[in-house]
């Protein structure tokens, strides 16, 4: 046995994460001594709001530094429940026993997959999607089954719900839904979300709903799965503090599910990470008192989205749908790739190298659909958005002339 003999779980990971492009961007910056404009970032560029920082500092000063319950601290679970109850009023409100706090939404997703996926089980994932869903399913010996979303320049992406009925087999354990959506920036039509909910219920498949961008809605209305009074029968709801409160490094997310499910997750948690970070949880207690700051951030991001959209529209080779949610634009670059005979990955790397602009190639969000798209984050200073997209446009014009 050698240290190079890795487990099946670890070798099942095949996808690339966004980190490769951040790495390339750092290298170019260093080697060429230039400032690379970074549209690759998946986090708000603002500091965590003051009230939250103060609450965590206070907790540290008061010595709140030991382990907590695997469920997270009771006050935070209660606060999350009451926040969601005021957002989605119901005759059977969410109780704290139905909430578990986790180290980031990623860990929440991991617990959810770990709880349900056996080797050979199928999990339906819409393509494109956040890369880690499929990777974790594969780690557990499960099989990601993709449904290709449909795209038009006029309407953006739709979930292609008709295909969902056909893709469900006796082996299907879960459907993963993400709304608002990374990487496309879609806020899906509430009727489409309702259809997915109906099918999951009817076919007795668990619906794992990742709503981490729920505050980042610029146009249209977002339908949460928690609005269905019968969510307890089939929903595992995931959310977190990372994006809404600009707390990515704090590592705090949460799950809402019926109490029996949450109890089982806490048993897994106790054996994997014990508990979420104690003083970070105290900070998060102040998060829901910072919703005015969140509102300001959303207004800022709406403006940035508009600027990025207008700038990208100037490029006749790029086709772009104005995103309505999250903080990503996902323009179609298939015409450029066809003419230059390039793969989107090479196109993105060349752009870092030659234009000094980082974007994430859509193929990072498996499987096929993303191969004609680029993801650009607009959680970036407005002047950088103007300059960065101008550089992209120049770069593309140069390529198309060659």
Residue ranges binding ligand PLP (CB under 6 A) = 42, 104-106, 130, 178, 182, 210, 212, 240, 242, 248, 253
What are the tokens at 388? 């960065």
Query: In the bound complex, what is the minimum distance in angstroms from residue 367's beta carbon to ligand PLP?
Result: 16
Looking at the Cβ atoms of 253 and 361, the one nearer to ligand PLP is 253
Query: In the bound complex, what is the minimum distance in angstroms from residue 210's beta carbon to ligand PLP?
Result: 5
SS3 sequence of the chain: CCCCCCCHHHHCCCCCCCHHHHHHHHHHHHHHCCCCEECCCCCCCCCCCHHHHHHHHHHHHCCCCCCCCCCCCHHHHHHHHHHHHHHCCCCCCCCHHHEEEECHHHHHHHHHHHHHCCCCCEEEEEECCCCHHHHHHHHCCCEEEEEECEEECCCEEECCHHHHHHHCCCCEEEEEEECCCCCCCCCCCHHHHHHHHHHHHHCCCEEEEECCCCCCECCCCCCCHHHCCCHHHCEEEEEECCCCCCCHHHCCEEEECCHHHHHHHHHHHHHHCCCCCHHHHHHHHCHHHCHHHHHHHHHHHHHHHHHHHHHHHCCCCCECCCCCECCEECCECHHHHHHHCCCHHHHHHHHHHHHCEECEEHHHCCCCHHHHEEEEECCCCHHHHHHHHHHHHHHHHHHHHC
Q: Strands 122-127 and 172-178, how do they pair?
A: parallel
Looking at the Cβ atoms of 247 and 312, the one nearer to ligand PLP is 247
Query: In the bound complex, what is the minimum distance in angstroms from residue 330's beta carbon to ligand PLP?
Result: 13
Query: In the bound complex, what is the minimum distance in angstroms from residue 200's beta carbon to ligand PLP?
Result: 19
Looking at the Cβ atoms of 113 and 395, the one nearer to ligand PLP is 113
Looking at the Cβ atoms of 210 and 311, the one nearer to ligand PLP is 210
Q: Under a CB-based contact definition with an 8 Å cutoff, are residues 178 and 187 in contact?
A: no
Chain position carrying tokens 């729920």? 214
Looking at the Cβ atoms of 104 and 185, the one nearer to ligand PLP is 104
Query: In the bound complex, what is the minimum distance in angstroms from residue 285's beta carbon to ligand PLP?
Result: 17
What are the tokens at 193? 């979300």
What are the tokens at 319? 């086709």
Query: In the bound complex, what is the minimum distance in angstroms from residue 301's beta carbon to ligand PLP?
Result: 15
Looking at the Cβ atoms of 248 and 393, the one nearer to ligand PLP is 248
Query: In the bound complex, what is the minimum distance in angstroms from residue 38's beta carbon to ligand PLP?
Result: 15
Q: Strands 235-240 and 206-210, how do they pair?
A: parallel
Query: In the bound complex, what is the minimum distance in angstroms from residue 240's beta carbon to ligand PLP?
Result: 4
Looking at the Cβ atoms of 179 and 393, the one nearer to ligand PLP is 179
Looking at the Cβ atoms of 172 and 182, the one nearer to ligand PLP is 182
Query: In the bound complex, what is the minimum distance in angstroms from residue 248's beta carbon to ligand PLP?
Result: 5
Looking at the Cβ atoms of 69 and 132, the one nearer to ligand PLP is 132
Nearest-5° Cα angle at 136, 96 to 270 = 40
Looking at the Cβ atoms of 210 and 228, the one nearer to ligand PLP is 210
Query: In the bound complex, what is the minimum distance in angstroms from residue 392's beta carbon to ligand PLP?
Result: 22
């Amino acid at each position: 046995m050698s240290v190079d003999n890795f487990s099946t779980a670890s070798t099942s990971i095949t996808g690339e994460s966004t980190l490769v492009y951040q790495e390339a961007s750092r290298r170019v910056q260093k080697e060429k001594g230039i400032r690379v404009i970074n549209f690759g970032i998946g986090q708000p560029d603002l500091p965590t709001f003051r009230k939250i920082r103060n609450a965590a500092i206070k907790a540290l000063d008061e010595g709140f530094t030991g382990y907590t319950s695997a469920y997270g601290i009771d006050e935070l679970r209660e606060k999350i429940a009451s926040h969601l109850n005021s957002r989605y009023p119901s005759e059977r409100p969410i109780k704290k026993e139905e909430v578990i706090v986790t180290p980031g939404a990623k860990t929440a997703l991991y617990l959810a997959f770990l709880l349900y996926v056996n080797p050979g089980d199928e999990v339906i994932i819409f393509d494109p999607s956040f890369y880690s869903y499929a990777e974790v399913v594969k780690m557990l010996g499960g099989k990601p089954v993709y449904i290709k979303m449909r795209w038009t320049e006029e309407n953006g992406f739709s979930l292609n719900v008709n295909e969902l009925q056909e893709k469900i087999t006796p082996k299907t354990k879960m459907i993963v839904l993400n709304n608002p959506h990374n990487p496309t920036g879609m806020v899906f039509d509430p009727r489409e979300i309702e259809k997915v909910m109906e099918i999951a219920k009817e076919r007795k498949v668990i619906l794992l709903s990742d709503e981490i961008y729920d505050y980042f809605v610029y146009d249209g209305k977002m339908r949460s799965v928690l609005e269905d009074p019968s969510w307890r029968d089939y929903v595992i709801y995931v959310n977190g503090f990372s994006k809404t409160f600009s707390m990515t490094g704090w590592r705090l997310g949460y799950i809402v599910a019926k109490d029996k499910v949450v109890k089982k997750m806490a048993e897994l948690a106790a054996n994997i990470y014990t508990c979420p970070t104690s003083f970070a949880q105290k900070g998060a207690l102040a998060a829901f008192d910072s919703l005015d700051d969140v509102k300001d951030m959303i207004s800022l991001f709406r403006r940035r989205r508009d600027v990025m959209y207008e700038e990208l529209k100037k490029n006749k080779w790029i086709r772009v749908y104005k995103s309505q949610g999250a903080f990503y634009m996902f323009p179609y670059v298939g015409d450029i790739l066809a003419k230059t005979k390039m793969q989107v990955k090479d196109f993105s790397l060349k752009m870092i190298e030659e234009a000094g602009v980082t974007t994430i190639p859509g193929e990072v969000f498996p499987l096929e659909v993303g191969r004609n798209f680029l993801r650009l984050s607009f959680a970036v200073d407005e002047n950088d958005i103007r300059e960065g997209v101008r550089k992209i446009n120049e770069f593309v014009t140069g390529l198309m002339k060659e």
